[in-house]
Structure 1
Amino acid sequence: MKIILVNRYLYPDQSATSRMTTSLASGLKERGFPVTGLASRDIHNDRSQRLPPEGDLDGIRIHRLWTSAFGRASLYGRALDYLTFHLSAAWWVLRHARRGDICVVCTDPPLLSVTLALPLRLKGARMVNWLHDLFPEVALRLGMSGSARLGKAALRLRDWSLAQAAINVPPTGTMGRFLAARGIPPDKLHVLHHWADAGGIRPVPPEANALRRQWGLEGKFVVGYSGNFGRVHEFETILEAADRLKSRDDIRFLFIGDGHRRAAVETWVRQKQLGNVQFHPLQPSSHLSESLCAADMHLVSLLPPLEPCIIPSKFYGILAAGRPTLFVGDPAGEVASALASGHCGRSVAIGDGAGLADHIQDLAASPEICARMGANARDLFEREYTHMRGCDEWARLMDGLVRTPDSVESEATSPKLAKKRSS
């Protein structure tokens, strides 16, 4: 028996789903499980690199499948990259999976569980769906599906594939309840929250942070946004707040990362001639603590219709870095509820740029409150969202499947799931 983790990106790629899946692979191996990785040969957002067909991570064999490599510049090229990964993954499973294997199928590329359900059944292996995102709901709610009929067909196929799995693992209670309402059997839903690396991300005081000095941020109150500039995130409220605060020489907005909407955000900043905003690329993982701690507080945003479908993974790193969060989105959503219960941040509705600017000014004027919120953030992280805790829970889940496939207790209607918790 082996555990096969399938995601389009794995180590050495540093995208969010790659880091999570690679982290789980390492954690399960440390706990005595035989682990194999299955990925593409690509690096996220970097078409100049193609990885070799085989790789190794501390004894974990990573098989890198051939796919097309059009990249993310066009939807058609991306769709072909997705399709070729689907076909290559199905072929690999038919050739290499064995009876009793457990295949953890992630959601990049979308609908991979649909493609792998029958090959895994034919080989006598069991499928565990790790639902980082929900597709096609994300595409449908962003108006990217192209056809309502096609979207409904994709929903039916996706729901069918979830019903075929031994277990489905959503990262939030909101997503779990949403799937249960769609008719996914409760005994096939088990919520396990995402995490960050407690050792790899540590609070770094401003005076010890080389990046703050390098980027000219000493003596400033820094408002950070770090990670993907994706379609699911909302930036207009953030940019309105930056515009309202442009006369405050002591406040800086720091944008770190890349993605679909970064160019539009940069264009808006140039047009408004905002001297209080600066941009930097994603930093190497070895500098993640300094990168996250370059900000005194962080911004997280999510479009409210996508609350059941996706989770801003940057939230865990912010907690680990011991920084407060200002959330822009549904004030009753998962992240907002976690901030309120953990006393480690505040939330505003989308469109409330004035309210966001007021919160920023309040925290800039109250360093003791900001520091207390940051300490609370790290405390919440250590209680709920560490790599050790997450991998321990996954190991118990895998052990239950190995011992007796029907023994995994559902959490779809349990108090733990019903209670709103952030991820």
Structure 2
Amino acid sequence: MAEMLAAAGHQVRVICSTPSYPHWKVLPGYGRFRLARAIENGVKVIRLPHYVPAVPNGIRRLIHLASFALLALLVLGVLMVRRRPNAVVAIVPSTMAAIVARWCAKLFRLPFWVHVQDLEAEMAIATGQIGRSPLTIAAARAVQRLALRGDRVSSISPAMCAHLAEKQVSRHEIVEFRNWARPDVAPIDRPSPYRAEWEVEHRFVALYSGNIAAKQGVEIIAQAARLLAHRRDLLFVICGDGPHKPALAESIADCDNVRLFDLQPADRLADLLGLASVHLLPQMAGAADLVLPSKLPNMLASGRPVVATVDQNTDLGRELSQCGLIVPPHDAQALADAIARLLDDEGLCDELGRNGQQRAAERWSKQAILEQFERELCAVVDRRDGDLEWSVLTAV
């Protein structure tokens, strides 16, 4: 997003965290206690050092997010005094940092756009990350409401936009701004190089690639693998990292039809997705309309069908209509049956894969989505030659 704005002639500054996702460990080359500046593809990037817990839990996550928000407040304030931008854009998560960005924008009387990737408080409530205390839930929602105010409030799906309206966000301020499929992801016309690298001899591969945390519910994949242990032609491959990875590794230790790998480099995404005969997209019950997984567009663009554990009457369920199979959340037997059905029906598998590729091209075109964002942002600023300040405030 920021690179597109810079390429279009805007001056863009990004304030973000030092990279630690998804390992909860600051990556090599970045100091834990020093601010890092760089120009990346025309974008001025400032990476802030902040607390990153080795083992995240409720309190440590709050400190993690609060430490970034406080540093962002200082840095954003100094930058805005030195050179007043024409707009401030904040990304949720993190809710705390978005509140900071809103305060700064209000102080300097600047247009403010907040983009919601997921409703952080609602997701934490749905997945049990903050407990069930009514006081805790009320406090989390109150903090969330402070962030969801701006000249524009955007999110990634119709259901997410509807949730914003339910949070008393004015409908004329709400804009749908989708995630996009990577342009380099397409069906591959050769065996994936990962087959040789990982010595995959099975005919079929059921693939999950992404974060391994509470809201994904990846443990259902291990349960389905046990139910399909008799299928000697099928291998389950899980690529990812996250706080639940050690527990997942322990649960599949005795499963010879499941392999667990680290998250693979982004520039090899097409090869990784091309390894799949079918993509797996587990979701926790109650969380599906609180986020539309960013991995979905690339799954569809790869030309492979998707099996998702989600209710039919959700955005995710509707997006997967005629592109994959939908099974109830937490139903391992239904997931196993859907996988087997696709593997045994090559015609259905190919049809769903083609439909998914076409849908990705129609609904998740990167260029079209970003051009729409630029038009909307320029309409808010009411000028095209402005200096756009984008604060990337996710501290995951």
TM-score (norm 2): 0.89
**SS of equivalent to 2:44:** strand
Matched, 1:374 2:360: no
Name the amino acid aligned to 1:103: V
The residue type paired with residue 183 of structure 2 is A
- Assess, with a 3 A threshold, how the Cα gap between structure 1 residues 374 and 25 changes in structure 2: closer, same or farther: same
Look up the equivalent residue of 1:125 and give its one-letter code. L
Gaps of at least 5 residues in structure 2 are 385-396
Shift in Å, 1:299: 0.6
Aligned residue for 2:17?
40
Which has the larger displacement, 41-50 or 59-68? 41-50
Q: Which runs of 4+ in 1 moved over 6 A?
A: none
Q: Secondary structure at the match of 2:45?
A: strand
Counterpart of 1:397 in structure 2 is 376
Moved more, 368-377 or 67-76: 67-76
Tell whether 2:170 aligns with 1:191.
no
Q: Do 2:105 and 2:112's aligned partners in 1 also have CA atoms closer than 8 Å?
A: yes
| Equivalent pair of 1:234/1:350 in contact (CA under 8 Å) | no
* 1:90 maps to which of 73, 78, 82: 73
Tell me if 1:148 matches 2:134: yes
Match of 1:104 in 2: 89
Preserved contact between residue 71 and residue 78 of structure 1 (Cα < 8 Å) = no
**Per-residue CA shift, 1:36-81, capped at 9, x if unaligned?**
1111223322335325610121121101123233345444333322
Shift of 1:220: 1.5
The alpha-carbon distance between structure 1 residues 186 and 361, as it changes in their structure 2 partners (threshold 3 A), is same
Could you list the per-position Cα deviations for residues 241-264 of structure 1 after superposition, in whole angstroms to 9, with x for gaps in the alignment? 211110111011110111122222
Change (3 A) 1:48 1:93: closer
Residues 196/360 of structure 1: CA separation in 2 closer, same or farther (3 Å cut): same
Residue 129 of structure 1: SS of its match in structure 2? strand
Specify the alignment match of 1:131 in structure 2: 116
Q: Deviations 1:81-103 (Å, cap 9, x if unpaired)?
A: 21121011111221112555221
Residue in structure 2 matched with residue 415 of structure 1 by the alignment: none
Aligned with residue 226 of structure 1, among 204, 209, 217: 209
Q: Distance in 2 between matches of 1:166 and 1:72?
A: 37
**How many equivalent pairs are there?**
375
**Which amino acid letter does the alignment assign opposite residue 105 of structure 1?**
A
Structure 2 counterpart of 1:114, which letter? Answer: I
Q: CA RMSD for the aligned pairs? A: 2.1
Residue of structure 2 equivalent to 1:248: 231
Instruction: State whether residues 28 and 395 of structure 1, in contact with CA within 8 Å, keep that contact through their aligned partners in structure 2.
Output: yes
Q: Residue 290 of structure 1 aligns with which residue?
A: 271
Contact 2:95/2:147 (CA < 8 Å) preserved in 1?
Answer: no
Which structure is richer in relative contact order (CA contacts within 8 A, separation 6 or more)? 2
CA distance in 2, matches of 1:151, 1:358: 37
Q: Distance in 2 between matches of 1:359 and 1:308?
A: 22
Distance 2:20 2:218 in 1: 26
What is the SS of the residue equivalent to 1:145? coil
| 8 Å CA contact retained: 1:329, 1:348 | yes
Structure 2 residue 145 is matched with structure 1 residue 159: yes
User: How has the CA–CA distance of structure 1 residues 132 and 399 changed in structure 2, closer, same or farther, with 3 Å as cutoff?
Assistant: same
Question: Could you list the per-position Cα deviations for residues 143-196 of structure 1 after superposition, in whole angstroms to 9, with x for gaps in the alignment?
Answer: 232543243133223223323x11111111111112212211111211111112
TM-score (norm 1): 0.83
Tell me the alpha carbon deviations over residues 383-403 of structure 1, each in whole angstroms, 9 at most, x when there is no partner: 011211211111111121121
Pairs within 5 Å for 1:44-55: 44=21, 45=23, 46-49=25-28, 50=30, 53-55=36-38
Give 1:385's aligned amino acid: W
Q: What SS does structure 2 have at the residue aligned with 1:136?
A: helix
**Gap change, CA 1:154 and 1:358, over 3 Å in 2:** closer
How much has 1:311 moved relative to structure 2? 2.2
Preserved contact between residue 65 and residue 89 of structure 1 (Cα < 8 Å): yes
Residues 224 and 299 of structure 1 are in contact (CA less than 8 Å); yes or no, is this contact kept in structure 2? Answer: yes
Q: Whole-Å Cα distance in 2 between the matches of residues 184 and 106 of structure 1?
A: 16
SS in 2 for 1:37: strand
User: What's the % identity of the aligned pairs?
Assistant: 23
Return the match for 1:346 from 320, 325, 335.
Answer: 325
The secondary structure found in structure 2 opposite 1:130 is strand
* Matching residue within 353, 364, 383 for 1:385: 364
Q: Is the 8 A contact 2:39 2:45 kept in 1?
A: yes
Q: 1:369 to 1:107 in 2, by over 3 A?
A: same
Give the equivalent residue in structure 2 for 1:420: none
The answer as to whether partners of 2:65 and 2:96 remain within 8 angstroms in 1 is: no
Q: Is the 8 A contact 1:137 1:309 kept in 2?
A: yes
User: Equivalent residue for 2:387?
Assistant: none
Q: How far apart are the structure 1 equivalents of 2:77 and 2:219?
A: 47
Aligned-pair CA distance for 1:371: 2.0
2:315 aligned partner? 334
SS at the partner of 1:190? strand
Aligned-pair CA distance for 1:404? 7.5
SS at match of 2:215: coil
Preserved contact between residue 13 and residue 44 of structure 2 (Cα < 8 Å) = yes
**SS of structure 2 residue aligned to 1:187:** helix
* Alignment of 1:115 onto 2:108: no
Distance 1:120 1:95 in 2: 13
> Where in structure 1 are there 5+ consecutive unaligned residues?
1-23, 406-423
C-alpha contact (below 8 Å) 2:212/2:241 kept by paired residues: yes
